[in-house]
A = this chain, B = another copy of it.
Amino acid sequence: VAAKFFQALGNAGINVRAIAQGSSERNISSVIDGNQATRALRAVHSSFYLSHQTLSIGVIGSGLIGATLLDQLHQQAERLRKDFHIDLRVRGILTSKNMCLGEPQIDLRHWRDPLKAGTKPDWEKFLAHIQPDHLPHSVLVDATASDELPERYAGWLEKGFHLVTPNKKGNSGTLEMYRTLQKVARAHNRHYLYATTVGAGLPVINTLRDLVQTGDEVRSIEGVLSGTLSFIFNSFNAQKKFSEIVREARQKGYTEPDPREDLSGMDVARKLVILAREMGLPLELKNIEVENLVGERARGGSVDEWLSRLPEEDGAMEALRTKAASANECLRYVGSIQPGGKSAVQLRHIPKDQPFATLSHSDNMVIFRTARYHQQPLIVRGPGAGPEVTAAGVFADLLRLTAYLGGKA
């Protein structure tokens, strides 16, 4: 009992001034700072299951992923409280334009209007509100694709926030930044979780981590890591011109507003960098050989201009396709890492009986070949993008965080 008591106070970061236990071992007294009383009581209660494991959450960004996450959290809140004694409280939402805070939390039935009517974003106020005296654990969710926010991550971890994000920019930035984030999280005993940065909700990063940590030797990772490029090449056949498929993908909302961002291969390269670093390879983005599917002359100018001239490429792409088809192969845009070898993103000819050739729709596929998975690889396949599955992956990271903090989902 005493053990559980101390564990609870410790986990919650309570400063205990003095403690005494009766000889009967049936009572414990502790002296703590007055302003930490609520927090202490809550921590002790929750550890004895009188109350709940509470997480104070700040969500940054209310775009597709952020909004979907907020809705998913709302839908599951009661079940998690009732069945698992987990209390996930969104206390703040911050976007580039607005901020809204809630006490004791934001009512997630109606977060859109309060956010619209909210104040201007104020980081200091936001962070203080997500990390109040009376709650033991605080986490920030960066649900944006911002280039700038990752610069703040280390500071947040140092301040005591845990961090969950689907934003690739932090881990695929400089190697120095990647290492700093890992180091700062470890030094401050905070968790930095980013399972959704590759393959969204698919079990890619956590699978790789299990392999690496248990000492498996990863011999190669190959992946179709862009839903957009998967769709484009899975759909490319004798009946359809390349430029038509790109237009179709854009109309369906599968591409970035400017499809050249997908076709450049940089998004795939960023995912490769993250996987490589999780394997312990000291890779920078520039070390990856990237086959840019946008010709050099086509990289400037407006999207419409580019799309109108895209049919000029149809001949060359069709030649590639028929050459592959005549060898019973198909085209796939594949990223690959080989420790000690080169890491590349390129359009490859894949024999029809190989796993990548069986892809359809906009599925991702990752193939792990290791010392233990040598005869046959370990393969994960499925939709690797989209707000529903990405938000669900972020949600799963939040629950993993709860488990690391002593909760049991």
Interface residues in chain A, defined as those with a beta carbon under 8 Å from any beta carbon in chain B: 2-21, 25, 30, 72, 75-76, 79, 84, 186, 189, 191, 201-203, 206-207, 210-211, 213-216, 355, 358, 360-363, 372-373, 375-383, 388-389, 392-393, 395-396, 399, 403-404, 406, 408-409
Contact = CB atoms under 8 A, between A and B. Distances in A.
B380 A203 contact: yes
B214 A72 contact: yes
Contacts of A396: 210, 213-214
Contacts of A395: 214-215
Closest 10 pairs between A and B when the two form their complex, measured CB to CB: A7-B10, A6-B10, A378-B382, A210-B396, A76-B215, A203-B203, A3-B13, A19-B19, A214-B395, A379-B381
Contacts of A21: 15-18
Q: How many copies, total?
A: 2
A6 B16 contact: yes
Contacts of A6: 6-7, 9-10, 14, 16
Nearest to A19: B19
Given A15-B21, A21-B18, A377-B382, A214 B10 contact: no
A389 B378 CA distance: 10
B2 A213 contact: no
A27 B385 CA distance: 51
A19 B2 CA distance: 12
29 contacts: A2-B16, A3-B10, A3-B15, A6-B14, A8-B10, A10-B11, A17-B21, A18-B19, A18-B21, A19-B30, A72-B214, A75-B215, A189-B408, A191-B408, A201-B210, A203-B210, A203-B380, A210-B393, A210-B396, A213-B409, A214-B396, A215-B395, A216-B392, A360-B376, A361-B375, A362-B376, A363-B376, A373-B382, A381-B381
